[in-house]
A = this chain, B = another copy of it.
């Protein structure tokens, strides 16, 4: 590069350098370390290196770009334009060569490490850095004068043409590569897994000639109830298809502990459940590949997040030890496996990565939430709650992060609630109760109308009103509390106490009638005092876990709350706070992160550096085991009340004050639990 050579300035990186006339833009970019993609290595085949030259004066860069700053549009570019079309103003970086000073913009889609935008405003975008990439190479032909294996010459080509060192090949590649090399006339496209903590780079597949891709990866959230997967392009990071199935293990037990019991009671039970979940996984992958219209063998990487019991069962490890203190995991570190070891029928050389577990009760799903929500990078003290059958709770900021798991039970998912049901069309999901008439109005899944809308009956004609889902029951109980139907200790008042005949004697306690569909053969939907108890237990467990972490952190308040989990996405923060599920926090500081575990899996899939990152983060997280913390029990007992009175706090611009009622003066009380009822101390 002489001083008289033309100057090439790249945007948005700002990298610049002088290059001899005739230097292709791709070459200049590579020499400057500008992130400009290429699969064919500058041979005008892949069109990945598209760039946009700018013309005119650029005082900012001190450059004036002449109209002929680049070589003329050439035949290769014209061929691509005719075949596929180039966006206006675009050139191929490997064809356009420098003639004089020029400013070159690298559009996002031409960058290897392009950003995948996450939907939530506060979430950082994902930077692409996939495990496996495609490389087009020209391989030397065999020569009897200097004999060497086809593989060795292919490896040499990758080293010389792409600077990938020490690459190895899976046996299945050896078994298939000779005819492919010859079919491609020694020009092939190679999928290279770029290696990880455990393995050097590996050739995963070879295609004859130029193969455009893309390769695909799976981000899988393996839950106790459902298995959900995102199929992503490893090129753009785009989610191509998302799908879910019920976890086939459900037939062995609805919740985790009943599955652990199943394995204890039945010899070979764990192996049965392992086979079931792996079969389910393969069925899901079939489904998602069909939905996306792709060949399952194009899936070369898969990332899994799950709770510890699912983690063990998926790996083929008996979860026996997770069913009893001290809840010892077989391994807590991340696992780098071949997908075939897990009987997964995707690409034969596909890799499987399982995020690290945090502790015996805090699994890889919690690690994925930590990766997605990054409490360790938050300046604010943030409480992240992943609400499910077990709640995983993280509390932290840049200083440190604490984690625990709390056994909320399945009430938040609508289970063990008399009119409860899974979130499905017909389930009540939103509720408002008139504080005067005590009459509810509600919305059901499948309709946007409130139940007091004249068109409502018509809209729900097909589904009917079938029950109350998890988020519905939370709103319901909170609204009953706000309306004075339920008192602080959790008793439903009598018709006399509440002034509403929706409250009726139901055994020894009162129940509240939400909806009576019995005339049309539908259900009678009620909230019983036992339902209130279940919700109280669940929310107390959640609150106590959060409170315990706050104690350990030495704080009385948090600055921000993130509700994660598919269910967390539907909880109304106002009602969660009325119920005392979560500590007090300004309402605008309570956000939902949706399926953060699934997002974490997606980040780990698309950016392999994030794997090393989260492994390190997890090692640094302070694990708190609620089972052995006396303060957890104490918090739990204190937290079972629904706030009898709270400091007025602003909700949606208004001030809500809860009625100071106590229905336990009379005989309707649930004596057995009376002794545990104390006034809940807040903060």
Contacts and interface: CB of A to CB of B under 8 A. Distances in A.
A630 to B, nearest CB: 13
Contacts of A437: none
A522 B625 CA distance: 87
A318 interface: yes
A198 B198 CA distance: 9
Given A326-B142, A360-B147, A152 B331 contact: yes
How many copies of this chain does one complex carry? Answer: 2
From A141, A175, A328, A359, name the one whose CB has the most chain B CB atoms within 10 angstroms: A328
Interface in A328-342: 328-333, 337, 341
A200 B145 CA distance: 36
A331 B147 contact: no
Interface string A144-185: 111111111000000000000000110100110111000000
Interface of A: 141-152, 168-169, 171, 174-175, 177-179, 198-200, 315-318, 320-321, 325-333, 337, 341, 357-360, 623, 625, 627-628
A320 B315 CA distance: 39
B316 A175 contact: yes
A324 to B, nearest CB: 11
Question: Which of A143, A147, A179, A341 has the largest count of B CB atoms less than 10 A from its CB?
Answer: A147
Given A171-B315, A627-B144, A149 B325 contact: no
Contacts of A318: 178-179
B331 A149 contact: yes
Contacts of A152: 331-333
Contacts of A317: 174-175, 178
Contacts of A143: 326
A174 B330 contact: yes
Given A147-B625, A628-B144, A328 B178 contact: yes
Contacts of A359: 147
15 contacts: A143-B326, A144-B625, A144-B628, A147-B359, A149-B329, A149-B330, A149-B331, A149-B333, A149-B357, A152-B331, A174-B315, A174-B317, A178-B320, A178-B328, A198-B199
B333 A151 contact: yes
A325 B625 CA distance: 68
Given A198-B168, A332-B149, A326 B174 contact: no
A175 to B, nearest CB: 5
A333 B628 CA distance: 55
A629 to B, nearest CB: 9
B331 A174 contact: yes
A341 B170 CA distance: 10
Q: Which 5 interchain pairs have the tightest Cβ spacing?
A: A142-B328, A147-B359, A149-B332, A151-B331, A149-B331
B200 A149 contact: no
Given A144-B627, A148-B332, 19 more contacts: A142-B326, A142-B327, A144-B325, A145-B628, A146-B623, A147-B328, A147-B332, A147-B358, A147-B625, A149-B332, A149-B333, A151-B333, A152-B331, A169-B331, A171-B316, A174-B315, A178-B317, A198-B199, A198-B200
A150 B328 contact: yes
Nearest to A342: B171
B147 A327 contact: yes
A144 B177 contact: no
Contacts of A150: 321, 328-331
Contacts of A142: 326-328
A317 to B, nearest CB: 5
Contacts of A144: 325-327, 360, 625, 627-628
Contacts of A148: 329, 332
A171 B341 contact: yes
Nearest to A328: B142
A650 to B, nearest CB: 40
A589 to B, nearest CB: 30
Contacts of A625: 144-145, 147
A350 to B, nearest CB: 15
Contacts of A179: 318, 320
Nearest to A321: B178
A148 B308 CA distance: 12
A318 B177 CA distance: 10
Q: Which of A141, A144, A359, A627 has the most CB of B within 10 A?
A: A144
Nearest to A625: B144
A458 to B, nearest CB: 55
A551 to B, nearest CB: 15
A30 to B, nearest CB: 29
Contacts of A145: 625, 628
Nearest to A318: B178
A92 to B, nearest CB: 34
Given A144-B327, A628-B144, A175 B315 contact: yes
Contacts of A627: 144
A360 B148 CA distance: 8
A168 B143 CA distance: 40
A326 B359 CA distance: 58
A327 B317 CA distance: 47
A152 B618 CA distance: 14
Contacts of A330: 149-151, 174, 177-178
A97 to B, nearest CB: 37
A77 to B, nearest CB: 37
Contacts of A198: 168, 199-200
A292 B76 CA distance: 69
A569 to B, nearest CB: 29
